[in-house]
Chain A
Amino acid sequence: MIKYVAKRLLISLATVWAIATICFFLIRLLPGNPFIVANPLDITNAEKMMEYYGLNDPVWMQYVRFMNSLLHLDFGYSLAHAGRSVNEVIAQYFPVTAQLAIQAMLFGIPTGTLLGILSAYKRGGSVDIFAQLMTILTTAIPAYVLAAILQLVLSVKLGWFPASGWETQKYTILPTLCLSLGMISGHCRGMRTLMLEVGQQDYLKTAKAKGLSEVRIIFFHQIRNALLPMVTNLGLEIAGLLMGSFVIEKIFSVPGLGKYFVNSINELDYTMAMGLVVFQAVVVVAANFVVDILYVLIDPRVKLD
């Protein structure tokens, strides 16, 4: 087990390194001078700033510097906004994004899974039809349109929730709901398929032949086995959530990381963009790492190699 954890950890670190390297070189490919973008009139100053931040040095030197600071968990300072460190931005805005994502997960995963179980149990029933309709809606209508419609109906017309902003807990409800919609339908569909697949397995027949009641067969044999593969997708889902939160944050004016991310790229703010990418990658890789370890603990079939 320790060996397995160590191996996974090593792979995770390698992944982070690879991502950081790819991002470093890709972002360096971006045309333009960040200081000119920030302040187009002052070209001499921009040249000076380039020199000051070491952006005129050979790329390998910059790379070594970047890696070195990464080792110290220091993402450097923003190029576009003087005096603002990337670490500060993360510390200030990531909690909001994280809260949104975690709330969406806490609501979306159980709801979606439950819906999936119910619609597999009563195929063609009202729950199943509802779930299918929801899947169609969330896959066919772009997320921002759906969010705008919900915003209009639930907050503007009905006045149940504040339309935008991020102040009290009440403000978080609508963004959370919108962010979790896709997740609910994804989990619902996945769980439904898995339930049906497990339903055809021989061991359910054995369970029935033992004389177990239907409820016990479904809970202890079918759902249990159907849930396991769902766990492996969790890591990737977190990546998807971070992405979805960009859109949702923009619609509901949520002060999260998403805005900074897009801005930093538009402003050619190298250090900021890189720091945020690497940070997100670390979050996703860490989530994957945890899921991998978790999966070994809950699924006895996985061999530790």
Chain B
Amino acid sequence: MKEKIISEMLDFSPVSEKERDAEQIIRPSVRYWPEVWKRLFRNKLAVLCIVIIGLILLCAIIMPILSPYEFDEVSLFESGLKPSAAHFFGTDASGRDLWTRVWIGARASLLIGFLGALTPFIIGTMIGAIAGWYGGRIDMIIMRVCDIMLCIPSMIYMILILMVMGGSVSSLVVAMAISGWMGSARGFRGRVLQFKNKEFTLAAKTQGASAPRIIFRHILPNILGNIAVGLSGAVPGAIFMEAGMAYIGLGVTPPNISLGQLSTDGITYFMSPTKFHLFLYPSLVISIMIFAFFMFGNALRDALDPRLRDEEYNAKRMRKIKRGQKREARKLGKAAV
């Protein structure tokens, strides 16, 4: 690259402003969210997860409608059938079509997943905003309540609320809201405190913006990324929680079903050679569902904070170089021998 510069090549005449500015390479200004989406869609696993989630959503919506069977339709002649063209996932002991039941159950599980993640978050954010914004005594009381409620195992809330309200999707969501709002309240309070005295908040304040406006228009957008990651982690958590509750006998009560309930019921047939499908399909669908949400959450986090991925990339290369050095050293050693 280093060519010899000869005086004749040099042109010492001044350049116009325009010419000079043309030279100024300005990186195209990068907008935050479009860039995040770009990174997200470049990640193959993330795209796969989105496709899986989409498929599951679609199936849960249309499959029960398309299916000729009702999910609670008992048919003793067809009890315990293995999967076939008539019953894709086979039938259970009462002859109910498992395919229909799985997708009806998926509806409940998805609902629990989304609502169980969103409700505690919304409640927690509101409470956290109040605590952080008003501070003082209000803050102290809210935070004390938070501390105390965090000490109680969330299982206990669940059990108590399910007992009082009965086992249904709505009572599960209420239980999750009551046992889960403390985390997001604490987190959001911290953010409000962090941004409360930042210049842009003060600027909005001097222009007469109200507290809710400042919190939701000025502070919330700053942490949208964290929220997205948190929520996408909470969805599989809620589905998982429901499954666990179902196992100890506290899920949705019949005739309503959820995937957790179905896979719990199926676990009795775990070692049965003829009815293994009753265990397999519900467990498989719920695992794939949680997996897709979980991996999507991870991919979203990577897309929002590419620094960590850069790090990983470098670490990998560093090891590669080290390995190369070792190999060379070995070669040299051999040559010396």
Binding site for B on A (CB under 8 A): 11, 14-15, 18-19, 22-23, 26-27, 29-31, 122-125, 136, 139-145, 148, 152, 156, 196, 235-236, 239-240, 242-243, 246-247, 250, 258, 261-262, 265-266, 277, 280-281, 284-285, 288
Contacts and interface: CB of A to CB of B under 8 A. Distances in A.
Nearest to A262: B248
A142 B160 contact: no
Given A136-B294, A243-B155, A284-B153, A23 B160 contact: yes
Given A23-B156, A247-B244, A281 B164 contact: no
Interface of B: 144, 147-148, 150-156, 159-161, 163-164, 236, 240, 243-244, 247-250, 260, 263-264, 267, 270-271, 283, 286-288, 290-291, 294-295, 308, 311-312, 315-316, 319
Contact of A148 (B156, B250, B267): B267
Given A142-B287, A280-B153, 8 more contacts: A19-B151, A139-B290, A140-B287, A144-B247, A148-B270, A239-B151, A284-B151, A284-B152
A143 B244 contact: yes
Contact of A145 (B160, B287, B311): B287
Contacts of B152: 19, 22, 239, 281, 284
Given A144-B247, A247-B247, A26 B155 contact: no
A267 B156 CA distance: 16
B294 A139 contact: yes
Contacts, number: 119
State the main secondary structure of chain B at its contact with A.
helix
A19 B315 contact: no
Contact of B236 (A11, A23, A139, A250): A139
B151 A124 contact: no
A280 B156 contact: yes
A11 B147 CA distance: 9
A256 to B, nearest CB: 12
Contacts of B311: 123, 196
B147 A15 contact: yes
Nearest to B240: A142
A265 B159 contact: yes
Contacts of A280: 153, 156
A125 B156 contact: no
A211 B3 CA distance: 41
